[in-house]
Structure 1
Amino acid sequence: MQTLEADFIIVGGGSAGCVLANRLSASGRHRVVLIEAGRDQPPDREEPAILDSYPRVAYFNPANIWADLKVFLEPVPHNDPAGQPKAKRYEQARLMGGGSSLNDMQANRGLPSDYDDWAANGAEGWDWQGVLPFFRKLERDMDFAGPLHGDTGPIPIRRIQPEVWPGFSRAAAAAMVEAGFLPMQDQNAEFGDGCFPIAISNAYDRRVSTAIAYLDNSTRRRSNLTIIADCRVEALTISDGRVTGVTARAPDGPLAISGAETIICAGALHSPAMLLRNGIGPAAELRAFGIPVLADRRGVGRNLQEHPALSVSAYIRREARLQPALRRHTHLGLRYSSGQAGAPQGDMYMVALSKTGWHPVGLQLGSLVTWVNRPFSRGKVVLTSASAAVEPRVEFALLSDRRDLDRLMSGLRLAAGIFDQPALRAVTDDPFPTSYSERVRDLGIVSTKNRILTSILAFGLDGPAWLRRKLLRHVVTEGAPLERMLADEEILEHFVRSAVHGVWHASGSCRMGAHGDPDAVVTADGRVIGVPGLRIADASVMPSVPSANTNIPTIMIAEKISAAILSEQPGPTAAMVVSADAS
């Protein structure tokens, strides 16, 4: 077995891991090893589909994701085996840069109240004033300056302005104003309800992932940084109750890396699974799999959260469609409040998609996707096997709290109402309810068969109105007609419950909290409670999912925890990091 020693070892180069690799190797005093389970994307050799401002081609490439991962989105009735829902695909990145290499590039921080709530629930130092310096540190805002923005960070952030939007996006913005929402310019500095050009982590119409931003050529040339791709962590090494390293399967065979401290950043699904397989979690569950208990922590894998979402889509008339010169398909966002009892302001979100797929039909259909920004529902991650080769069982339990169901039903009504405003009626026809279904996933894979099928369907959709309506009703739509749903609460509720999906914002499964909190997994500096030499730094440590796409908050977490680690290092020390998609 090949062996390595390092001060900081980062296993998995995702949204958090690339940040840690850069920051922990920057001084030159610490030896750093970065391990990524997927393939590398070195500078100037990034694949065109990864760089593309339209992300969905790369997202549906099976080579970029954990292909065996499936999840339960709906609540699972454990006392009724016959009533269990089907497991569904849930794309999680497996390549350098992790989710930041495949996501929609929305650069959304969330609201100050999100982080104030973190601090109020035991994550000391993670209130808005505590996290703002790290949001500023990561960003180079190309549009705005001032005390809420950074201008020298690795991640460029910009907004595409309305004058270059396609007609559908402009009409959607006008329809939102007609519906009573105020226009805003900067979602990351204006925290009320309103519609705005979406901030994106994208420069000159190219994606900027954490692999691109933090692992540039100068960083990769550091003599104290070693990057190993296509290498999967199999286990933590433990000595006298302390984590001292990892064992992994590298391209050249077995690999053992030793170090004094391990920081896991494997994401909200794989980080808890790694802990559980190595004896950190609810003791009874671990013993059931024959796993020796290292630390009895009942919160590991619990508190799992996602943003539950659904859409209303419509046929876009030719003159309002996205033109080939503009690859970016998402321009407009809306933050709004449900008024639900107990829900904070800005607890809902909506985004307009001017293109719903890479294929010809995708150019003909526009969508308003709405989701619950601050859900009450909680799910869990549990093991089905002690083997690192077997994916965990993931139960999101979306809409298990009735308040989330009510808010998503209300969001669907709002989306339908916006389509009914004069501005959108002028450029669209025949709105219908939509979901990110398994059939949509199948069509999302780039293939000759899908290109032919969607070309035939697109020809029909651009034909006579009667034919378009028939195709939309019987071929495209996967539910009752929109008008029936809006008129019948029972039909609407059935559709929302059965069609709800997530938006790849898994979080919260190893949450931060006070040292004495029995449900907390890590303390405010990322240390796993009761396990010396081990930390976590990724979306799993979030006490609650913020009112945001989770990529920018995850980068902020990595910046803040890496700063905490370095503040403890007066001189050369030994430590180790396990990161993004490496479980």
Structure 2
Amino acid sequence: MLCDAADTLETAYDVIVAGAGTGGCVVAGRLAQAGLSVLLVEAGPPDTAEPAIADAGAWVGLLGGPCDWGYAYAPSPAVADRAIAIPRGRVLGGSSSINAMLWNRGHPSDYDGWAAAGATGWDFAAVLPYFKRAEDWEGGETPLRGAGGPLRIETSADPHPVAAALLAGATELGMPILADANGPDNAGAALANLNKRGARRWSVVDGYVRPLAGDPNLTVLTGATALGLLLAGTACTGLRLGLDGGIREVRARHEVVLALGAIGTPALLMRSGIGDPADLARLGIATRHALPGIGRNLQDHPLLMGINFSARAPLGPVRDNGGGAQLNWRSRAGLRAPDLHAFVVQGSHAGPEIAATADLSGPVFAVSPGLMGSTGIGSLRLESAEPDGAVTLRPNFLTEPADRAALAGAIDTILALAETAAFRDLGAVPLTPARRLRPAEAEAFLARACSTFFHTCGTCAMGTGPAAVVDPALNLHGVAGLRIADASVMPTIPTGNTQAAVVMIAERAAAFVRDAAG
């Protein structure tokens, strides 16, 4: 049931899910299917309020618009003192409704690394069933892929010329072509896995919420802001909401699940008095429960915008998500997993600082690399106790010499593609940069071109040590009746787009809650 008015709310539900984004929709849908009464709370509007959401090729126009929270990473010298926009969906479906629909798990060893870091029971063998449970893979069920799940996953039926050129060019450079980007190893070039059905985005709303329209177990409340948690001693009993200009309190009979994302979840916890006591005292917030790890361990993948090429002639209209193919490779021998990733863009891809250095009009395309094995660790700092108060986000991009060296090498790899027959057939001429760069030039280019893959995570990390925020069952340490099911719980960032990992986390969170509720 979709509602947006206070008078339709009940006073209590079995489970309250705060945040109807990628994780929240999965948890709410699964628990409602299991027979629990669920309230799913979203600050933004329904996804039907913006028709472009459904168009798989229109997502770029959603960034920075009314369905985006409008966050930005703080300027730092390492990125030429620029603020870097970090789009996050403020709409039913969250970032699943405005993202590029990429479905990449990363490398299997990423999750073995989670288990080694203290997230016991989250190794790849343990999480694989939850990845598969979510999928309706176009190729059908395999030992690694799922079929018949809520999320349709497809590759391009008719790849764009730039996507085809990436595959052929990678072959010329001696890189393997993968039949499946989510196969046993992700090193090589592949057609991108996309959560879409034909030309239509297939978000978590489509997969987990819309099929339950009319189900009395699921109440979806849009236009409602989560203001704080209701706490009774060391137990969470409900949620305080801002709705219709007033404040409502709703109780949870079993649990509250936070799925506000790696920015919203730690902010709500701190505003509720849960966090580092020193941080809370700075804001005049009384400490209800001390958890100093909240807001620490922020991680993201740095992306270079962009390595652009002119083409001999127009390459045709946008297809799929405006990309369609990707490449993963290792910056140096001996790494457990590919640490570099690139994707094609069926048009120019550059921030204003780079766009000002060349004429990017006419037939232009891009191959944009980024670092999936980044080692920089940042933080989230709450600046106000008010619900709409500012947060300062510092990802610490390019602060580690190893990260800069890997990305500098990635520029050379992408420029080497321009020398392959596949790219010469397109008439590819490098524009930004126009040639191989000397070391000092590469450092300057990195600082001006660095952006983000929108993969903010880690700010409420899972584990058992003193810095951990949730345990391996996603319970908040020391607070009963409260779990987290979003990217904030990742102890380390996977070497891939984070959407698939968040869905997996949420699938498992729903199983934990269902089992606990009996």
Q: Which residue, out of 13, 18, 22, partners 1:11? A: 18
Q: Aligned pair in 2 of structure 1 residues 363, 215: CA closer, same or farther (>3 Å)?
A: farther
Query: Displacement, 1:60?
Result: 2.8
Matches within 5 A, 1:214-225: 214-217=208-211, 219-225=212-218
| Matched letter for residue 485 of structure 2 | A
Q: Which residue, out of 142, 150, 153, partners 1:154? A: 150
2:320 corresponds to 1:313: no
Q: Aligned pair in 2 of structure 1 residues 487, 104: CA closer, same or farther (>3 Å)?
A: closer
CA contact (8 A) 1:75 1:395 kept: no
- 2:46 is matched with 40
For residues 488-540 of structure 1, the C-alpha deviation after alignment (integer angstroms, 9 at most, x for no partner) is: 211111221233111101111111001xx111110011111122222111001
- 1:55 is matched with 58
Classify the secondary structure of the residue corresponding to 1:540. helix
Classify the secondary structure of the residue corresponding to 2:216. coil
Q: Work out the CA distance in 2 between the residues paired with 1:113 and 1:327.
A: 29
Q: Work out the CA distance in 2 between the residues paired with 1:303 and 1:236.
A: 23
CA contact (8 A) 1:73 1:501 kept: no
CA contact (8 A) 2:163 2:191 kept: no
- 1:205 is matched with 199
Q: Work out the CA distance in 1 between the residues paired with 2:280 and 2:77.
A: 23
Matches within 5 A, 1:375-390: 375-390=374-389
Classify the secondary structure of the residue corresponding to 2:451. coil
- 1:367 is matched with 366
Classify the secondary structure of the residue corresponding to 2:22. coil
Q: Work out the CA distance in 2 between the residues paired with 1:270 and 1:496.
A: 29
Q: Work out the CA distance in 2 between the residues paired with 1:129 and 1:158.
A: 24
**Percent sequence identity over aligned pairs:** 30
Query: Displacement, 1:317?
Result: 2.4
Query: Displacement, 1:109?
Result: 1.2
2:104 corresponds to 1:108: yes
Matches within 5 A, 1:515-526: 517-526=465-474
Query: Displacement, 1:554?
Result: 0.4
Q: Aligned pair in 2 of structure 1 residues 540, 340: CA closer, same or farther (>3 Å)?
A: farther
Q: Which residue, out of 273, 276, 279, partners 1:282? A: 276
Q: Which residue, out of 27, 33, 36, partners 2:34? A: 27
Query: Displacement, 1:133?
Result: 0.3
Matches within 5 A, 1:359-438: 364-433=363-432
List alignment gaps of at least 5 residues for structure 2: 1-5, 350-358
Q: Work out the CA distance in 2 between the residues paired with 1:518 and 1:179.
A: 46
- 1:545 is matched with 493
Query: Displacement, 1:402?
Result: 1.4
Q: How many residues align?
A: 501
Q: Aligned pair in 2 of structure 1 residues 74, 61: CA closer, same or farther (>3 Å)?
A: closer
- 1:560 is matched with 508
CA contact (8 A) 1:346 1:547 kept: yes
Query: Displacement, 1:234?
Result: 1.0
| Matched letter for residue 189 of structure 1 | G
- 2:434 is matched with 482
- 1:172 is matched with 166
For residues 104-152 of structure 1, the C-alpha deviation after alignment (integer angstroms, 9 at most, x for no partner) is: 1111111110000000111011100110000010001112431111111
- 1:442 is matched with none
> Which protein has greater RCO, CA pairs closer than 8 Å, 6+ apart?
1
| Matched letter for residue 207 of structure 2 | A
Q: Aligned pair in 2 of structure 1 residues 176, 288: CA closer, same or farther (>3 Å)?
A: same
Q: Aligned pair in 2 of structure 1 residues 119, 291: CA closer, same or farther (>3 Å)?
A: same
CA contact (8 A) 1:59 1:91 kept: no
Query: Displacement, 1:328?
Result: 3.7
Q: Aligned pair in 2 of structure 1 residues 511, 135: CA closer, same or farther (>3 Å)?
A: same
For residues 135-184 of structure 1, the C-alpha deviation after alignment (integer angstroms, 9 at most, x for no partner) is: 010001112431111111000111114xx223222222211111111111
List alignment gaps of at least 5 residues for structure 1: 77-82, 434-480, 571-583
Classify the secondary structure of the residue corresponding to 1:409. helix
Q: Aligned pair in 2 of structure 1 residues 375, 327: CA closer, same or farther (>3 Å)?
A: closer
Query: Displacement, 1:550?
Result: 0.8
2:240 corresponds to 1:240: no
Query: Which protein has the larger Cα radius of gyration, Structure 1 or Structure 2?
Result: 1
Q: Aligned pair in 2 of structure 1 residues 552, 85: CA closer, same or farther (>3 Å)?
A: same
CA contact (8 A) 1:58 1:64 kept: no
CA contact (8 A) 1:10 1:263 kept: yes
Classify the secondary structure of the residue corresponding to 1:159. coil
- 1:120 is matched with 116
CA contact (8 A) 1:379 1:395 kept: yes
Q: Work out the CA distance in 1 between the residues paired with 2:93 and 2:250.
A: 22
Q: Work out the CA distance in 1 between the residues paired with 2:163 and 2:172.
A: 14
Tell which deviates more after alignment, 555-564 or 140-149.
Answer: 140-149
TM-score, normalised to structure 2, is 0.92
CA contact (8 A) 1:55 1:104 kept: no
Q: Work out the CA distance in 1 between the residues paired with 2:94 and 2:396.
A: 25
